[in-house]
Amino acid sequence: MGQVRFTANLQRHLACPPRPHAGGTLRQALDGVFAENPRLRSYILDEQGRLRRHVIIYVNDKPLADRVTLSDPLAADDEVFVFQALSGG
């Protein structure tokens, strides 16, 4: 079974350990994570349910294609990595 993983900088703000997913779409996998951790949703998605500009998601080694509806298909063993961009100077 694949997992949804979050970077350490997201974990500094709230607990978001890796969570298993059963496949389907990226939206379904994230909705499963948000059901267990509702506060995480606002860090990842905007008010319209789209991926925030400063967040990127990779499925295995490829960036997701659909940032709006998150309809990218997931196999049951795909690894999902959620990154939040860092800035500073």
Tens digits of pLDDT across the chain (89 residues): 899 999 988 888 888 999 999 989 999 999 999 999 999 999 999 999 999 999 999 999 999 999 999 999 999 999 999 998 766 55
Q: Give domain limits for the chain.
A: 3-84
d(CA 31, CA 87): 27
3-84: what fold? Answer: Ubiquitin-like (UB roll) (3.10.20)
Note whether 29 and 74 are within 8 A (CB): yes
Question: What is the C-alpha to C-alpha distance for residues 15 and 24, in angstroms, rounded to an integer?
Answer: 24
